[in-house]
């Protein structure tokens, strides 16, 4: 065919063009799967962003979404002309003249690159093709991607094809609008609106020339020209963009001179609402599904999954309301206690002098400042002490203020936080998940991320070990001093725990009475009898996964554990001795409703029916035994209708750092932790800081709300009857004594437990190792 062309040069030129056409067609049809996906004209007419997944409550109400990109689209008339001019002047000065591909710029850029002056030749439309259709991502590439040079040529040809098609479908203004809405600015910030709010707290139509130039300058390399990390480089790049704007007549020489001398003038006070309904639950679900997504090849942020959780919206609402009501009161109490005094203290009550410095050094920006100022601590200090506008959390609503970074550290150090979780052991379903007081300001989840000393809420693992190894609830021990010799890391040591009030009554108590009143000396004796290694074994068996140091004080809760673990472990007792792996997600479907996965709880029998039921009987001792530490629940009349029964255990770590309450009803197990995020900040007395005064009220108010709602599905009632024949003695009422109501919970004086007034919880503050309630 080609031989008919007599002119040799013309013949070779035609052959070249012929093969170019075949090559282009092969790319377009993805011949033999060599070249990968190319967007069709239909794709270009209806471009799709990544499809977010949605997460729902158990009743189908939307909780939030998982969106890959933090973007808020804008219309062209909401974009400042300064942005358009800066973009065109810098990225594609011939934008209004070409039809998607600027071959003049392409060939001139190749010549410049050959001379050592590397610059891009892609038009705005080509860049849009890359941003919108990911023409250089793996899924857009075929087998040819393994051939380096050919792969680059194929990608460039695809960009050309896509750019031509975009120009056929859209007008120039529409192309610019699409570009500004899809362009990435780094740090999960996509689109001009998200970027302008992030860096200047302004909408895109309010940006001046200098601000527009800075944002457009970032597009060359979002990390290199990030104005927060690299302000000097950002200014240099901004001035280059301003130079282009002046060169092509978008600004005058006078405006250029004025703009290039400006500082960046960032305003970082805008709090991004990029969460798509972000919450502790949403983040917990993401973590819970991480392995499933990896194993099954799904992307939570792209594949449009519908995720149905086990969270009950009614119970969740009541829990959040109880947290807000009680934590607001606790925070006021904490402020009244400390006032303007410095709250961060060591174990001896002395101020921690380097507290602020250590907190500054934990901030990501500290390392950058250290590099920028070459270790000059004076300049670093000046940065942290510089005042700036910011929005802060408060229980009276978000507050706009002027704080330095140091002010912010001081302020948030005194904020108390909480973690709360409720499970229905019979189904294994998590019903409530409150990871903290406000996810917008406190991302750290205090249900499953935070681990704190459990205090006396850990004591039940000593007693369940005893009951499962020959002891009965009626076995008696004397409240007296005890010393236990043990080896700690190969060195001999002696543990001599004090009671919370530093007094011993020398009175015989049943195990139920001792656990109900949380007597340290008897818990220590039980620990010595059954062995601390055995207690660690039973704690792990019931559901504690955190590493536990096997020492005698383990039974007083000296190890760090999570609320999640404690609730799971306590649910074993209500679940007939079956440890359950709680489920947070019940079902996942695709966008069309097709079920992809359903989840059922895994259970394992770890305790006998008898031991599990006896432990429930022991937990009721907190309400029924003399000086029981749960008796503050009597102050909530909404809990005690129709002969309702509640069991539970308070806990307070040394120095009142952590307050706990583990509450059990006939249907639910709830765990609550309260404390400051930094352990050096805490209450100072039993009247203010014990778990019975911090965590227990949250549980009580929550259950009052649940019982008051007939639609909640949970009613008053007695604990379950024995699931099997009880062979051990357990019905051994303790003597009811009375003390002066002004005394603490010391049994040195009698106490009348028939009264509504609860006994105070024991003082956990004692000599090391910590003595807890």
**Residue 13 has which token pair?**
């030129």
| Per-residue pLDDT reduced to its tens digit, 269-307 | 776 544 456 799 999 999 999 999 999 989 898 788 999
- Check pLDDT > 90 for residue 419: yes
| Per-residue pLDDT reduced to its tens digit, 70-129 | 666 789 999 999 999 999 999 888 898 887 777 666 666 656 555 555 555 688 888 888
**Cβ–Cβ < 8 Å for 191, 181:** yes
DSSP 351: B
**Cβ–Cβ < 8 Å for 152, 110:** no
**Cβ–Cβ < 8 Å for 318, 702:** yes
User: pLDDT at position 275, please?
Assistant: 44
| Per-residue pLDDT reduced to its tens digit, 576-594 | 999 999 999 999 999 889 9
Q: Which helix (H) or strand (E) holds 187?
A: none
| Per-residue pLDDT reduced to its tens digit, 38-52 | 565 566 666 665 567
**Residue 87 has which token pair?**
């973009």
Task: Please count the other Cβ atoms lying within 10 Å of the Cβ belonging to residue 354.
Answer: 10
**Residue 408 has which token pair?**
């912010």
User: pLDDT at position 356, please?
Assistant: 96
DSSP three-state, residue 309: strand
Q: Which of the pair, 471 or 129, is modelled with greater confidence?
A: 471
Spatial distance between the Cα atoms of 750 and 653, rounded to a whole number of angstroms: 26
| Per-residue pLDDT reduced to its tens digit, 336-361 | 999 999 999 998 999 999 999 999 99
Phi, psi of 64 (to 5 degrees): 180, -175
Percent of the chain exceeding pLDDT 70 equals 82
Confidence of residue 18 (pLDDT cuts 50, 70, 90): low
User: pLDDT at position 25, please?
Assistant: 66
Q: Which of the pair, 117 or 649, is modelled with greater confidence?
A: 649
Report the predicted TM-score, pTM, of the whole model to 2 decimal places: 0.72
Report helix, strand and coil shares of the chain as percent, to nearest 5: 45, 15, 45
| Per-residue pLDDT reduced to its tens digit, 135-153 | 444 445 555 555 566 566 6
User: pLDDT at position 28, please?
Assistant: 61
DSSP three-state, residue 733: coil
- Check pLDDT > 60 for residue 552: yes
Of 276, 301, 297, the C-alpha closest to 50 is: 301
User: pLDDT at position 139, please?
Assistant: 46
Spatial distance between the Cα atoms of 254 and 557, rounded to a whole number of angstroms: 71
Best-predicted range by mean pLDDT (67-76, 302-311, 602-611): 602-611
């Amino acid at each position: 065919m080609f031989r008919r062309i007599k002119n040799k040069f013309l013949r070779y030129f035609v052959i070249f063009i012929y093969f170019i056409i075949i090559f282009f067609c092969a790319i377009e049809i993805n011949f033999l799967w060599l070249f990968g996906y190319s967007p069709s004209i239909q794709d270009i007419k209806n471009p799709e962003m990544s499809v977010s997944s949605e997460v729902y409550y158990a009743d189908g109400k939307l909780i939030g979404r998982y969106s890959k990109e933090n973007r808020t689209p804008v219309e062209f008339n909401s974009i400042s002309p300064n942005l358009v001019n800066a973009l065109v002047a810098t990225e594609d000065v011939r934008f209004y003249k070409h039809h998607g591909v600027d071959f003049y710029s392409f060939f001139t850029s190749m010549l410049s690159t050959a001379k050592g002056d590397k610059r891009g030749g892609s038009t705005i439309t080509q860049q849009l093709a890359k941003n919108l259709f990911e023409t250089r991502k793996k899924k857009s590439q075929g087998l040819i991607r393994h051939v380096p040079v050919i792969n680059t040529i194929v990608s460039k040809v695809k960009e050309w094809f896509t750019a031509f098609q975009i120009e056929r479908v859209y007008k120039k203004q529409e192309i610019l609008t699409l570009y500004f809405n899809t362009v990435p600015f780094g740090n999960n910030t996509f689109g001009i609106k998200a970027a302008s709010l992030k860096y200047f707290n302004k909408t895109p139509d309010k940006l001046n020339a200098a601000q527009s130039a800075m944002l457009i300058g970032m597009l060359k390399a979002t990390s290199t020209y990030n104005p927060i990390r690299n302000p000097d480089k950002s200014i240099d790049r901004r001035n280059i963009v301003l130079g282009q704007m002046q060169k092509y007549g978008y600004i005058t020489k006078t405006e250029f001179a004025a703009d290039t001398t400006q500082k960046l003038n960032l305003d970082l006070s805008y709090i991004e609402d990029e969460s798509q309904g972000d919450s502790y639950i949403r983040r917990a679900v993401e973590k819970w599904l991480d392995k499933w997504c990896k194993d099954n090849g799904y992307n939570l942020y792209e594949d449009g999954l519908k995720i149905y959780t086990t969270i009950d919206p009614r119970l969740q609402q009541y829990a959040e309301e109880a947290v807000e009501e009680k934590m607001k009161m606790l925070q006021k109490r904490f402020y009244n206690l400390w006032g303007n005094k410095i709250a961060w203290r060591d174990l001896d009550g002395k101020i921690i002098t380097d507290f602020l410095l250590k907190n500054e050094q934990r901030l990501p920006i500290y390392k950058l400042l250290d590099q920028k100022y070459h270790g000059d601590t004076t300049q670093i200090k000046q940065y942290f002490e510089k005042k700036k506008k910011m929005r802060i959390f408060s229980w009276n609503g978000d507050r706009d203020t002027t704080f330095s970074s140091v002010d912010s550290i001081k302020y948030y150090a005194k904020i108390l936080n909480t973690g709360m979780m409720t499970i229905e052991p019979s189904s294994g379903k998590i019903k409530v998940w409150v990871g903290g007081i406000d996810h917008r300001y406190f991302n750290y989840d205090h249900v499953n991320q935070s681990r704190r000393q459990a205090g006396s809420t850990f004591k039940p693992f000593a007693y369940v070990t005893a009951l499962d190894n020959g002891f009965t609830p009626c076995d008696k021990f004397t409240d007296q001093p005890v010393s236990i010799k043990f080896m700690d890391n190969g060195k001999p040591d002696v543990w001599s725990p004090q009671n919370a009030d530093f007094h011993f009554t020398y009175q015989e108590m049943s195990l139920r009475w001792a656990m109900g009143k949380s007597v340290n000396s008897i818990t220590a004796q039980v620990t010595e009898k059954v062995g601390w290694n055995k207690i660690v074994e039973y704690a792990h068996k019931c559901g504690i996964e955190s590493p536990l140091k096997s020492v005698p004080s383990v039974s007083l809760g000296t190890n760090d554990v999570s609320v999640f673990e404690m609730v799971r472990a306590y649910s074993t007792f209500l679940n007939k001795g079956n440890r359950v792996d709680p489920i947070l997600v019940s079902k996942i479907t695709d966008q069309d409703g097709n079920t992809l996965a359903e989840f059922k709880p895994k259970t394992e029998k770890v305790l006998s029916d008898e031991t599990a039921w006896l432990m429930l009987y022991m937990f009721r001792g907190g309400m029924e035994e003399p000086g029981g530490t749960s008796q503050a629940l009597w102050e909530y009349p909404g809990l005690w209708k129709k002969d309702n029964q509640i069991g539970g255990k308070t806990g307070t770590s040394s120095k009142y750092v952590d307050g706990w309450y583990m509450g059990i009803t006939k249907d639910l197990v709830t765990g609550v932790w309260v404390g400051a995020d930094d352990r050096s900040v805490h209450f100072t007395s039993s009247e203010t800081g014990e778990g019975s005064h911090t965590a227990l009220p949250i549980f009580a108010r929550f259950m009052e709300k649940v019982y008051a709602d007939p639609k909640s599905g949970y009613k008053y009632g007695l604990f379950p009857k024995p699931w099997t024949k009880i062979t051990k003695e357990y019905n051994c009422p303790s003597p009811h004594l009375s003390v002066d109501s002004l005394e603490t919970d010391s049994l040195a004086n009698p106490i009348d437990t028939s009264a509504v007034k609860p006994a105070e919880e024991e003082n956990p503050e004692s000599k090391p190792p910590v003595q807890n309630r």
